[in-house]
Structure 1
């Protein structure tokens, strides 16, 4: 299959949201692979240390064309990528083959009015955090002796919808700002397609994040990756689902954690009915016995996220979506 390279430039990135009106940054065939470059920190570049601001990133921050500024979200995304043959009702399979921080520093920010404890931690704060890329760790607080292993992933993986402008902050049935730390290299995520070509965008790199992302950011990191994009006409989905080498992951997004949990649970029951041929009641019981439901994030207002994790090792036969 052909392989493409998509560098992040002021012509190939967009800011703040998703839109089917954007000119594609790249057109590929189903099954092609792409090396993608992403940057983060558009709104903090002027406060960043020199090693955070490459010449290409500086050019983006200072000269991004107005038509590439989609909505008020803070995220700088690479794309969109137009996939030939993708039609509404199909599913886009995104295989995350490699994910690597590109710079030895990331940032964490507390934003006024955001986070899980906005009234207690209401003063804005910006920290740049060094990354030891050779040993794949970061120390935080610096000189504390607390060493955190890096687990890089892309916080945003999404397709365009029929809306002319969709803010990048809340996740939804199109994917978007999922912020699920389980989506490591080796994972596949399956996204419903809403417009011709899918118009897939990627970004919001995180070097490491705890479930919940409670202070509103992870270690936000410029990130490179290798992905494969494949159109799946044999699948029908209304919400994203993921498959890691060891697990099946369903997702739920809602304005409360209760709503998000209910949707993640219903989506897992639906998976077990369709792919394992369980009755709804048996699937419900199995979820209580063997599926772990975790808080994905609580800060991407107005949508909170919960994901359910089913180990493939308990299933009677190998399964691959």
Structure 2
């Protein structure tokens, strides 16, 4: 297995969406690991303090080529990464081996017309939030003595689909803007593959986020990480699933929370049928008595997200993907 380093430059990032027409930023073999660098804040860099900016990031913001702008979303993604041998119908396993903010500041933005309370908070607002990376906390508001632990994760983990361009804002069967704060170090994310090579992209780093991400953003943070990419030809999936050290996570996306919850429950039932050999009815009962269904996010229009967390500790025999 080979270890790669993928720096974020104007030639290795893309903006706003996913596209199978993008030139890969890197080609790897199944089982390879990658040190990956990501930046965030493309549209607000001119308002940012100096500690938010690096020469490479400024170069990206000022000189990104038109062909690397593939959608209307605000997200700057590193990739895509082409995995040799990956075919449509396979599953891409992404293991998150390291995740760390690269800069001592992130931002939160309220956007007009977005969020859970768009009619109450009508004015845009941008806040840059200092991060204490040595102690892994942030104080917000500054001077309040409210200390928030940093729990960094990547909001976007996704693959390309047959469409020419796909907006980076809504999540879907390909992953994308999942915004699930449970996907931290030592988690694995499993994504259905739709095109040759998978064309995996990553970004949208968050240093801290509450379930729901109710005002549209978390602490948006430029983030570095180490990932392992593996082709799984022994799995068949139609929607993303994840595994943390403690839980199996199924996901549901829909235009309402009711719809997203329904899909998350159905996906958990399907998982329990296949991997725990339960009947559909027994799986449904188990979902009600032991699975925790939580709001992932409610702001990535038009898709809201719900995820179900199945504790692995309830099984006497190991259960894993």
For normalisation by structure 2, the TM-score amounts to 1.00
1:279-313 superposed Cα distances (whole Å, 9 cap, x missing partner): 00000000000000000000000000000000000
Distance, in Å, in 1 between the alignment partners of 2:319 and 2:31 is: 20
Distance, in Å, in 1 between the alignment partners of 2:71 and 2:190 is: 25
2:254 alignment counterpart: 254
SS in structure 1 of the partner of residue 281 of structure 2:
helix
Any residues of structure 2 matched to 1:133-152 within 5 Å, and which?
133-152=133-152
Give the C-alpha shift of residue 319 in structure 1: 1.9
Any residues of structure 2 matched to 1:230-245 within 5 Å, and which?
230-245=230-245
1:187 alignment counterpart: 187
Distance, in Å, in 2 between the alignment partners of 1:273 and 1:72 is: 39
Moved over 2 A (4+): none
In the alignment of these two chains, the number of paired residues is 321
2:6 alignment counterpart: 6
1:218-262 superposed Cα distances (whole Å, 9 cap, x missing partner): 000000000000000000000000000110000000000000000
Give the C-alpha shift of residue 77 in structure 1: 0.0
Give the C-alpha shift of residue 320 in structure 1: 2.3
Any residues of structure 2 matched to 1:1-321 within 5 Å, and which?
1-321=1-321
1:191-215 superposed Cα distances (whole Å, 9 cap, x missing partner): 0000000000000000000000000
SS in structure 2 of the partner of residue 61 of structure 1:
helix
Give the C-alpha shift of residue 316 in structure 1: 2.4
* Structure 1: 5+ residue stretches without partners: none
Distance, in Å, in 2 between the alignment partners of 1:87 and 1:33 is: 19
Give the C-alpha shift of residue 66 in structure 1: 0.5
1:134-169 superposed Cα distances (whole Å, 9 cap, x missing partner): 000000001000000000000000000000000000
Give the C-alpha shift of residue 275 in structure 1: 0.2
SS in structure 2 of the partner of residue 162 of structure 1:
coil
Q: CA RMSD in A?
A: 0.3
SS in structure 2 of the partner of residue 94 of structure 1:
strand
Distance, in Å, in 2 between the alignment partners of 1:234 and 1:72 is: 35
Distance, in Å, in 1 between the alignment partners of 2:253 and 2:267 is: 11
For normalisation by structure 1, the TM-score amounts to 1.00
SS in structure 2 of the partner of residue 197 of structure 1:
coil
Distance, in Å, in 2 between the alignment partners of 1:310 and 1:204 is: 26
SS in structure 2 of the partner of residue 43 of structure 1:
helix
